[in-house]
């Protein structure tokens, strides 16, 4: 979905009563011996400073300025060619004129240089829809930047600093977020509220937060290091000066920091950066090919489990990696490569951070017995061409982008992989499709009693204007039929 760029906090929705979640916007580093961890033994040790860590890391944290020129929605009167002709509305002789004034929207965020050649990681929402992006280093030098890869599903974007000379930039080594423990000291570095580069200190408050509601891959590091608007895309670093997360969201009642911030683990960042360096314009991830269910206390009791843990396999897609590995309906997946799994989000994260072409060993409880299932990591196939179509004809679908369903599309939109037909991929803001309530992931089943098999079928159906449209869609396992005006 398209959002407006702004310099303020982008509020996504409620996390709990009275609270809001707001976006606040490679090669792997060489392995190092983890620093020794111990409690300070004396008063002088308590007065130790973080200055050496800051001196090493701060030069690699940058400001990201994004600018977008947006055309304001024209008055509906300019939909009439007669008025466009004489009053200079959009498409008329006067250009944009009175019908569609333009305005510049700007956003400010942070970023992290992860490669000395000028590769920068930031949040997707910081640069979403931007026409122009600039990078400002902490020594006041500024450069234009180009986008190498955008990944809305993880809320990450990879940029490259444009420079004529072969400059070498300060960069951060990527750590290993799986080595973090609750209680570890961390520093957050960014540019909150545009006041200038700021360093805050805190601890890792929690790991594997999966109910934040910010991106498709929810597996966040929670910290009490102060994170505020403008910190989006900034660095969360450990005491060895390694990047362990990209600061992305806060829980807040006021829009400011209250000590609950969330960062994307660096192990997810590494995957996106490596694919951007390889020239990919989108991120390919391993596909399991199974529908999973969270284990509730009632389900755990029925299975004889001491507590809710793991994920239940509800369905297996034919010819998928899960099917080839003999994963079965009713299997309880409790671990991936030795990492415990507590919910579907945890499993999705573990799969998303592993390379395609490898293998993953799943620990499975099958009928009370522990078995090991080895899954070959493959990308979801596009068995049917997407044949993307943006509907423009006057109808309830106008402004919607539709594609043919395939396992690859189903995986992207979190749709049942066994579904067939046409699915809504995107919906323009303020369009008839948005007004009708359509959302990405809606599977279009029927229109006026006729089955919709391919995108071109729907494109043909909407060519004839009608006063009313009877539409049936599949959404979240339910079938909805509605009568919509033409």
pLDDT in tens, 253-306: 666 667 788 999 999 999 999 999 998 888 888 989 898 999 999 988 888 888
pLDDT at 16: 38
Q: Distance of alpha carbon 58 from its chain centroid, rounded?
A: 25
Least confident of 66-80, 252-266, 334-348, 411-425: 66-80
* Confidence band of 423 (pLDDT split at 50, 70, 90): very high
User: Does 378 or 419 have the greater pLDDT score?
Assistant: 378
Active site residue 155: yes
The answer for residues whose C-beta is within 8 angstroms of residue 360's C-beta and 6 or more apart is 286, 336, 337, 350, 351, 354, 374, 375, 377
Mean pLDDT along residues 230-244: 91
107, 115, 125, 343: the catalytic one is 125
Name the architecture of domain 286-379.
Answer: Roll (2.30)
Asked if residue 87 has pLDDT above 80, the reply is no
Residues 109-166: tens digit of each pLDDT: 899 999 999 999 999 989 888 888 999 998 889 999 999 999 888 899 999 999 887 8
Q: What is the pLDDT of residues 338-353, one digit of tens each?
A: 889 888 888 888 988 8
Q: Is 207 exposed, middle or buried (0-12, 13-18, 19+ CB in 10 A)?
A: middle
pLDDT surpassing 90 at residue 250: no
Where do the CATH 2.30.42.10 domains begin and end in the chain? Answer: 286-379, 389-485
423-429 mean pLDDT:
91
414/188: higher pLDDT: 188
pLDDT of residue 123: 93
388-397: average pLDDT: 91
How many other CB atoms are there within 10 angstroms of residue 80's CB atom? 11
Confidence of residue 14 (pLDDT cuts 50, 70, 90): very low
Q: Where in the chain is the domain with CATH 2.40.10.120?
A: 1-29+49-283
Distance between CA atoms of 455 and 237, rounded to whole angstroms?
47
Per-residue pLDDT band for 50 (boundaries 50, 70, 90) equals confident
With respect to CATH, is domain 389-485 assigned 2.30.42.10?
yes
Inform me whether the pLDDT recorded for 25 exceeds 60.
Answer: no
Strand pairing class (185-190; 156-161):
unpaired
Average pLDDT over residues 23-51: 58
Which of 107, 110, 115, 155 is catalytic? The answer is 155
User: Which of 41-55, 287-301, 319-333 shows the lowest per-residue confidence on average (mean pLDDT)?
Assistant: 41-55
Catalytic, 178? Answer no
Looking at 2.40.10.120, 3.40.50.12780, 3.40.50.2000, 1.20.20.10, the CATH number of the domain 1-29+49-283 comes to 2.40.10.120
Residue range 460-473: mean pLDDT, rounded: 89
- pTM, full prediction: 0.75
- pLDDT of the residue at 47: 63
CB-based contact 187:201 (threshold 8 Å): yes
By mean pLDDT, which of 23-32, 39-48, 178-187, 215-224 is the weakest? 23-32
Buried b (16+ CB within 10 A) or exposed e, 318-340: eebbbeebebbeebbbbbbeeee
Per the model's pLDDT, the better-predicted residue between 229 and 201 turns out to be 201
Question: Are 72 and 101 a contacting pair, CB within 8 Å?
Answer: yes
Answer with the residue of higher pLDDT: 14 or 196: 196
Distance (Å, whole) CA 313 – CA 416: 13
- Looking at per-residue pLDDT, the higher value among 424 and 412 belongs to 424
pLDDT of residue 7: 36
User: Is 125 among the residues known to form the active site?
Assistant: yes
Mean pLDDT rounded to a whole number for the chain: 82
Query: Residue 173 and residue 160: Cα distance in Å, rounded?
Result: 17
pLDDT, greater one: 17 or 115: 115
- Whether the per-residue pLDDT at 45 is higher than 70: the answer is no
Q: Which of 107, 232, 248, 252 is catalytic?
A: 232
Per-residue pLDDT for 193 more than 60?
Answer: yes
């Amino acid at each position: 979905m398209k959002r407006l760029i702004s310099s303020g906090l982008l509020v996504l929705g409620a996390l709990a009563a009275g609270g809001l979640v707001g976006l606040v916007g490679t090669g792997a580093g060489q392995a190092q011996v983890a620093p020794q961890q111990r409690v300070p033994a004396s008063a002088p040790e308590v007065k130790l400073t973080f200055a050496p860590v800051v001196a090493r890391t701060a030069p690699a944290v940058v400001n990201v300025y994004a600018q977008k020129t947006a055309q304001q929605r024209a008055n509906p009167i300019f939909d009439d060619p007669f008025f466009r002709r004489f009053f200079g509305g959009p498409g008329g002789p006067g250009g944009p004129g009175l019908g569609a004034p333009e305005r510049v929207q700007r956003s400010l965020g942070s970023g992290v240089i992860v490669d000395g050649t000028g590769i920068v990681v930031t949040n997707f929402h910081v640069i979403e829809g931007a026409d122009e992006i600039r990078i400002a280093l902490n020594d006041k030098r500024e450069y234009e930047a180009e986008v190498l890869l955008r990944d809305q599903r993880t809320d990450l974007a990879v940029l490259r600093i444009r420079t004529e000379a072969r400059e070498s930039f300060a960069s951060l080594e990527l750590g290993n977020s799986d080595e973090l423990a609750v209680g570890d000291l961390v520093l957050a570095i960014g540019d909150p509220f545009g006041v200038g580069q700021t360093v805050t200190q805190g601890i890792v408050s929690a790991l594997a937060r999966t109910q934040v509601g910010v991106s498709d891959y929810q597996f966040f590091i929670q910290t009490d290091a102060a994170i505020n608007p403008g910190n989006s895309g900034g660095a969360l670093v450990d005491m060895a000066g390694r990047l362990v997360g990209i600061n992305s969201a806060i829980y807040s009642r006021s829009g400011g920091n209250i000590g609950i911030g969330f960062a994307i683990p660096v192990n997810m960042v590494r995957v996106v950066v490596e694919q951007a360096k390889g020239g990919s314009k989108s991120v390919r991830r391993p596909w399991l090919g199974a529908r999973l269910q969270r284990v509730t206390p009632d389900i755990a009791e029925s299975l004889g489990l001491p507590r809710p843990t793991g994920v239940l396999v509800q369905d297996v897609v034919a010819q998928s990696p899960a099917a080839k590995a003999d994963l079965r309906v009713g299997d309880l997946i409790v671990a991936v490569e030795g990492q415990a799994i507590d919910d579907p989000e945890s499993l999705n994260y573990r799969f998303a951070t592993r390379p395609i072409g490898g293998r993953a060993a799943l620990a499975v409880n099958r009928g009370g017995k522990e078995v090991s299932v080895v899954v070959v990591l493959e990308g979801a196939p596009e068995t049917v061409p997407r044949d993307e179509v943006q509907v423009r004809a006057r109808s309830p679908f106008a402004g919607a982008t539709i594609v043919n369903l395939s396992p690859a599309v189903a995986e992207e939109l979190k749709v049942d992989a066994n579904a067939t037909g046409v699915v809504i991929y995107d919906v323009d803001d303020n369009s008839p499709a948005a007004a009708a309530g359509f959302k990405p992931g809606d599977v279009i089943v029927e229109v006026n009693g006729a089955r919709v098999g391919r995108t071109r079928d729907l494109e043909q159906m909407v060519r004839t204007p009608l006063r009313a449209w009877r539409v049936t869609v599949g959404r979240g396992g339910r079938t909805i039929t509605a009568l919509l005006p033409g």
